[in-house]
Amino acid sequence: MMRKSIPFLFVASVLLFFGCNSAQQLYKKGVKQMRAGRYQPAIDYFSKAKAKNPGFKPLEVNSAIASSYWRSNRIREAEPFYKDAIAAGNREDSVKFNYAYALKANGKYPEAQAAFQDYMKSAKSLRLRALAKRELENLPEIDKIAGQKTFYEVRNMGGINTPAAEFSPVLQGDNMVFTASRKDRVYESNGLGLVGLYKAKLNDSASLKNPELFSDKVFDANVNEGTPTFSKDGRFMIFARGNLGGRTRGAKDMDLYISYFRDNQWTTPEIMLISDPEAWDAQPTLSTDGKTLYFASNRAGGLGGTDLWRATADASGRFGKPTNMGNKINTPGNDMFPYVSDDGKLYFASDGHPGLGRLDMFVATRKAGEINLYNLGVPMNSTGDDFGIVFRSPTMGYFSSNRDGGMGDDDIYLFEDKNPGYKIVNYYLAGVTVTKGAVGEQILANTKIQFLEGDKVIGETTTKDDGAFKFRVQEGKNYTIVAAKPDYLTRREGWSMSGRSIPQELLVKPITDTTFNVRVPLDPEEKGVTLVLNIYYDLDKDNIRPDAAIELDRVVQFMNDNPRISVELGSHTDARADDNYNMDLSQRRANSAVQYLVSKGIGSGRITAKGYGETVLLVKDAETEEEHQQNRRTEIRVVGVQK
């Protein structure tokens, strides 16, 4: 019997040896992939090694799989592997912390509390100890958050979602623009396609099921790009681009880019100066007035992982040095995905404030100078990642989540606030047309008024003797008033409801009527009328900047609205060079502006270029760059009227 068993044992030993060797090779390949930041291929190799030989290096293999999931932002999937790694003897500081955090991300709150308490007994990292302490303080708040009364109803948007990732919806007119992992190139960190920008018409179910590429001018097949924000007039967009998830030498991280809408298409994106080349900058959003840009960043000077930062635009529309939003908003964890609603509230996602899982959504309000934070509660938040909120109306909107029950990775959800106590406000815009009279301003009767939303005329009237007109307006909408009368220059006046909503807590009646008032001045169609344009130039330059092109497009519209006039484009410099040089520079700038208008179809005989150098300064003793920028301007003056 012993003799007969020897060959069997020998064969078994050989098979075991080759099995171990095969698992060893797979493990080495996984380590190589993980070191390069290609986490999904690494997980695949480690999993094959584990399947090939379940007893092969349980500490190392489980630790590696858990770490790969963690580094690719799949915290919940990491939990069982952290558990097995610890059971196999892993006592690393970060492993014990990450395991406790993964338990919380999976909604296992009692187990998470016990694991955090166990971690604190042997914690070595001061940073992780501080985070664990905060988690232990936050965990008791979960029952209160889960139990608070809300009236939200949430549903998955179905057709727009796939097993891949769809997230960060934003609204642009009738379109939803969103970020999705649908590119052919694979993001090696998580095994999904790279993300790009796509759009679908909200009121078209077929379009929602088959969204189209947002713009081939913005699309780059070889990088991630997403989370856009649009100016209220739709003339420019800021978004994030970069970050392939690898750690190759010289690889770029996420940066903020800007693209302008000109000639019915988006321009080639340009990196913004406020981006930090050494940091991850993403998820931009603009304030309701467009003057403040909020974004998430892990740049130096923050309080934790990613913080919220803001930058304010100067007179030329360029954003200045970003500032951190402080510890009322930011935490040692990750604070991201900012959004400013039409009533001026700041919404964002955070895993540092008390929440149900990883990222929860919060709203920040300011009252008497104090910032108050509120968790949006259930069902807006879950044990998963909940983020990227946007409102379509005061009681309805969209957000992203990878919660259980979805179609795959991140999905887009619709929410409605069914609060029976919600109060209604009817908003109106009342205006009056006026002009300059012999003794001051006087009413201008018999003026044709068109009221536009985008390019669509939604209202039309002709003023009577009182010059009055009135239209119904809606929260968050942007409008244009076009006023025209024979022998007067046609005028376009923008009007935005952004930031004008009355907060619910200030309303006392079930229904409130609120009217905003505006005066629309028309100038006589005669020589000498001057309009100051927000066309600015870089120091010592005469080229047309993209932001200047937007303003010149308005001049094109003005010239088309008033086909009988001819104008002079007068260009001015600051006083930081000698007189002759500035005169030449201003003439070149005026010529550039005229060439631009001619390229847009305005007859060259209707425009004259005139350089004034530094002879007419708006700020005579300019000191700051903003003051110098105001002097570097272009003005348009009517010099002829064809009868």
- Over residues 497-509, the mean pLDDT reads 87
Model pLDDT, residue 252: 54
Burial class of residue 38 in the structure, from the number of CB atoms within 10 Å of its CB (0-12 exposed, 13-18 middle, 19+ buried): buried
296 pLDDT more than 90: yes
Q: What is the mean pLDDT of the chain?
A: 89
250 pLDDT more than 70: no
> How far is residue 502's CA from residue 416's CA, in Å, rounded to a whole number?
19
* CB proximity list for 126: less than 8 A, separation 6 or greater: none
DSSP for residue 160 = G
* CB proximity list for 250: less than 8 A, separation 6 or greater: none
Residue pair 395/344 in contact by the 8 Å Cβ criterion: no
**Torsion, Cα of 249, 254, 258, 263 (10° steps):** 80
Model pLDDT, residue 542: 76
More confident residue, 367 or 215: 215
Model pLDDT, residue 488: 95
∠ CA 538-540-544, rounded to 5°? 45
- Over residues 1-26, the mean pLDDT reads 55
Tell me the whole-structure pTM to 2 decimals: 0.83
More confident residue, 248 or 244: 244
Type of residue found at 486: P
DSSP string, 409-437: SSEEEEEEE--TTPPEEEEEEEEEEEEEE
Model pLDDT, residue 514: 96
CA 47 remoteness from chain centre: 37
Q: Tell me: the pLDDT tens digits for 520-571?
A: 999 999 888 888 777 776 767 778 778 788 888 989 999 999 999 999 988 8
Model pLDDT, residue 203: 84
18 pLDDT more than 70: no
Model pLDDT, residue 577: 76
Give the ranges where 53-152 is alpha helix by DSSP (H).
58-71, 75-87, 93-105, 109-122, 126-138, 142-147
DSSP for residue 524 = B
- Over residues 43-49, the mean pLDDT reads 93
- Six-digit token pair at 504? 């619910």
> How far is residue 585's CA from residue 611's CA, in Å, rounded to a whole number?
8
Q: What percent of the chain has pLDDT over 70?
A: 95
17 pLDDT more than 60: no
229 pLDDT more than 70: yes
DSSP for residue 272 = -
- Six-digit token pair at 76? 């919940």
Domains along the chain with CATH numbers: 2-146 (1.25.40.10), 148-417 (2.120.10.30), 424-521 (2.60.40.10), 530-641 (3.30.1330.60)
Model pLDDT, residue 264: 87
331 pLDDT more than 80: yes
Q: Tell me: the pLDDT tens digits for 169-186?
A: 999 988 999 999 999 998
- Over residues 564-582, the mean pLDDT reads 85
- Over residues 282-303, the mean pLDDT reads 94
Model pLDDT, residue 62: 93
> How far is residue 115's CA from residue 332's CA, in Å, rounded to a whole number?
20
> How far is residue 258's CA from residue 235's CA, in Å, rounded to a whole number?
11
**Torsion, Cα of 388, 391, 392, 394 (10° steps):** 160
Residue pair 226/213 in contact by the 8 Å Cβ criterion: no
Closest CA to 258 of 218, 309, 298, 288: 218
Element spanning 33, H or E: helix 2-35
490 pLDDT more than 70: yes
DSSP for residue 476 = T
Model pLDDT, residue 244: 65
Give the pairing type, strands 607-611 and 565-571: parallel
Residues in a beta bridge with 450: 460, 482
Closest CA to 153 of 318, 425, 379: 379
Residue pair 112/136 in contact by the 8 Å Cβ criterion: no
> How far is residue 623's CA from residue 635's CA, in Å, rounded to a whole number?
22
- Six-digit token pair at 347? 């919404």
Residues in a beta bridge with 429: 471, 516
- Over residues 251-259, the mean pLDDT reads 83
Model pLDDT, residue 477: 87
Coil vs helix vs strand at 466 = coil
- pLDDT level of residue 21 (50, 70, 90 thresholds): low
Between helices 75-87 and 93-105, what is the axis angle to 10°? 130
- Over residues 440-461, the mean pLDDT reads 93
90 pLDDT more than 50: yes
Q: Tell me: the pLDDT tens digits for 391-447?
A: 998 899 999 999 999 998 899 999 999 999 899 999 999 999 999 877 888 999 999
Closest CA to 245 of 195, 285, 284, 294: 195
- pLDDT level of residue 246 (50, 70, 90 thresholds): very low
Burial class of residue 311 in the structure, from the number of CB atoms within 10 Å of its CB (0-12 exposed, 13-18 middle, 19+ buried): buried
Q: Tell me: the pLDDT tens digits for 116-130?
A: 999 999 998 888 998
- Over residues 1-13, the mean pLDDT reads 44
